[in-house]
Chain A
Amino acid sequence: MMNVREDDVLEAAARWSREGRGVALATVVETWGSAPRPVGSHLVIDDRGDFLGSVSGGCVEGAVVAEATEVIADGQPRLVSFGVADETAWRVGLSCGGRISVYVEKVG
Chain B
Amino acid sequence: MDLAVLEALNAERASRRAVLLVTELASGRQRLVTPEQAPADPLADPMAEALRTGRSAMVEQGGERLFLSVQLPAPRLVITGAVHISQALAPMAALTGLDVVIIDPRSAFATPERFPAVDLRAQWPDEALPGLALDAFTAFAALTHDPKIDDPALEEALRRGCFYVGALGSRKTHAARLERLAARGLAGETLARIHAPIGLDIGAATPAEIAVSILAQVVGTLRQRPAARERAA
* A-to-B contact residues, CB < 8 Å: 2-3, 5-7, 10-11, 13-14, 17-18, 25, 27, 29-30, 38-40, 76-77, 79, 103, 105-108
Contacts and interface: CB of A to CB of B under 8 A. Distances in A.
Nearest to B27: A77
Contacts of B192: none
Interface of B: 1-3, 6-7, 9-10, 13, 23, 25, 28, 55-58, 67, 69-71, 74, 94-97
Do most interface residues of chain B lie in helix, strand or loop, or is the interface mixed? mixed
B6 A7 contact: no
Contacts of A27: 67, 69
B56 A105 contact: no
Contacts of A103: 23, 25, 67
A100 to B, nearest CB: 12
Contact of A39 (B23, B25, B57): B57
Given A2-B95, A5-B74, A107-B1, A10 B10 contact: yes
B3 A108 contact: yes
A79 B96 CA distance: 30
Contact of A3 (B10, B56, B97): B97
Contacts of A77: 25, 28
7 pairs of A and B residues whose beta carbons are closest in the complex:
A40-B56, A77-B28, A29-B67, A108-B3, A14-B6, A39-B56, A17-B3
Nearest to A30: B58
A79 B150 CA distance: 51
